[in-house]
Amino acid sequence: MDVWSWICELPNSLEWTESDSPLMFELASEEKDNSVRSIHLKADRTSGSDSEAVVTFTVCLQGFHPHNAHKPLWVSEKCHLSSQNPFLPLLLQLLQEIISSSPTAHDSTCPRSQLQKLKPDPIAWIMDSHTPESLSTFFNLVFTMRLFWLCAFQAPPEAGSLYFHSLLTPTLQTSSKLASVLRTFFITVGVDTELCFMRTLGYIITKLHMIKELSIGLGLKTLLPSPRFSYATEAHGLWILKGYSPVMNMKLVRSNAQKSQFCSIDAKESILRYALAHHQLEAHVQIEYTVGFCDGYIQVRARLDNIRLQVARLGFNQNDEVDFLEEKHFPSRVRVWVGPEIGATYCGGLSLGRSTENKEIEVELQKVVKGNLEKSEGSNVTASARSSRKTRSRSWRMDQDAEGNAAIFDVVLHDNVTGLEVGSLKGTSETGDERVHGLRGRYVRGNRAFTKSGSVIIAGDEYGEEVGWRLSKEMEGSVLKWRIGGEFWLSYLPNQTKGSYYETRYIEWCDEVDLPLIHAKTS
């Protein structure tokens, strides 16, 4: 499906008269019961003010009973063919409608009603600055996302099935080509629009996974894609890595789940897993770096400025009555690395800034001697001793490590009660006898390891030791490629509910950022 190429090849205003029949593009079709059912995009040539040539696009269904084929599912705004960028209003409308219908994350401070309208200039710049191939892939994703709400909720069930099988899956399989244009789009439109866009996409991918789990005969077992949406950038002395993943798109590394997520289990656990499926990891990593020019070498230093991990609950508003609202996944480990590109010979050494923890144990010893000095044939003396030991425990253990010339920042969550790594815990037993762990009531206790909303923030004031590299002086004046990546684990253990279900999931992202080695000269 290449909708954008078809749109760009439409006749111009001189070749296309108003009396011509509408042009049709078949988005998807299937033959069933000796009839053809299809989803079409139709382009109508009409006249605007001063007889200006304009085109209007509509999405239509054919062959789906009882849907009326003459009633379109969606109608676009008018696009002026004589303008410099005639189809900018179309892309702008699709993006605006995606953002406006974005599933709201619980406790979100940016409701849809407060979102501003997208400005046309940044979108026009994106259209002009990318290759036709990358822009086509981006437009097809945007158009497919907009069709989701139409086909899944406003069309007959058969149309929804055709959409998931023939439109959504092929589009997501090309997601690897989207890294550059999505990065530019997010940086251009800002983080609020970015969140709405990625939560919509996460919700769509979640529904696709659920259809596969429910084994509805759509042939998705071999077609189901696993897109990984992340990007990295350099700005204002920071290396930034951002990633988004619905939990069902993350690799399952530990669980007591049966083969199916929702089938062959009791109703209560099925509802729990349905609620847990609507979670999305939103990771934001910031590493602060500085460059110093010394005699004979260049010193590059970096320190962890911020790791922010949010588990957004997709599709529910703050005041909705939702079962198992207090049950959600939580971050249990994060491993971030940063360093020169593999094979680099210009890096002479890596120095870490955090020693392996050699914890001290404070011991307090107190002796008490009691005696009786009364005159007697034998002495009457008794003695007793008491000792106490104090230790300090922390929920998050922070370490540094190295692999080649890459520095690794490792942060692991431990159970306050047992001291075990949470990602390795197996929750409760099958018999219902709960294993004691310190993660019940994890969002309301005073000594909780998370924010009240379930997020995790690791800032430089707690993990501030820097690492450093020494580079060859010959690299001065160049802009190097520095690699940054991360591994992220999400776990679930019962919080308020009684049950035995547990799981841990994992995902990895990696990208490149710029390291400018340009010595600023002062006058």
For residue range 241-266, what is the model confidence (pLDDT) as tens digits? 999 999 999 999 988 876 555 555 67
> How is residue 203 annotated by DSSP?
H
- Above 60 in pLDDT, residue 146? yes
380 within domain boundaries: no
Q: Is the residue at 385 inside a domain?
A: no
Boundary of a domain, candidates 212, 227, 242: 227
Helix (H, G, I), strand (E, B) or coil at 294: strand
Q: Are residues 194 and 207 in the same domain?
A: yes
- Please indicate, yes or no, whether residues 266 and 217 belong to a single structural domain of this protein: no
Q: What is the mean pLDDT of residues 382-398?
A: 67
Residue 299 lies in a domain: yes
Q: How many domains does the chain have?
A: 2
Asked which of 2-6, 236-240, 415-419, 496-500 is least confident by mean pLDDT, the reply is 415-419
Structural domain span for residue 457 = 229-356+394-523
Domain co-membership, 221 together with 325: no
Contact 236, 247 (CB under 8 A): no
Residue 371, pLDDT > 90, answer no
Closest CA to 473 of 295, 248, 270: 295
- Calculate ∠ Cα 223-230-354, nearest 5°: 130
At 473, give phi and psi (nearest 5°).
-65, -20
Same domain, 301 and 330: yes
Could you give the count of Cα atoms lying within 13 Å of 163 in the half-sphere of its Cβ? 29
Instruction: Tell whether 447 and 343 lie within a shared domain.
Output: yes
Q: Bigger pLDDT: 384 or 142?
A: 142
193 shares its domain with 290: no
Same domain, 185 and 235: no
pLDDT > 70 fraction of the chain, expressed in percent and rounded: 79
Question: Domain boundary at 179, 211, 227, which?
Answer: 227
Token pair for 380: 């009457």
HSE-CB for 521 with a 13 A CA cutoff: 3
Q: Which two tokens stand for residue 17?
A: 């008269």
Q: What is the pTM of this model?
A: 0.87
210, 289: one domain: no
378 within some domain: no
Please report whether residue 306 resides in a domain: yes
Question: Phi, psi (5° rounding) for residue 426?
Answer: -115, 25
**Could you tell me if 213 and 319 lie in one domain?**
no
Please indicate, yes or no, whether residues 215 and 309 belong to a single structural domain of this protein. no
- Give, to the nearest 10 degrees, the angle between helix 191-213 and helix 88-100: 70
- Does 475 have pLDDT greater than 60? yes
Same-domain status, 242 and 265: yes
Q: What is the mean pLDDT of residues 142-148?
A: 95
Domain boundary among 211, 227, 243: 227
Q: How far apart are CA 130 and CA 476, in angstroms?
A: 31
**214 assigned to some structural domain:** yes
Asked whether residue 52 falls in the same domain as residue 111, the answer is yes
Max intra-chain CA distance, the chain: 131
Q: Is residue 136 in some structural domain?
A: yes
How, if at all, do strands 467-472 and 347-351 pair? antiparallel
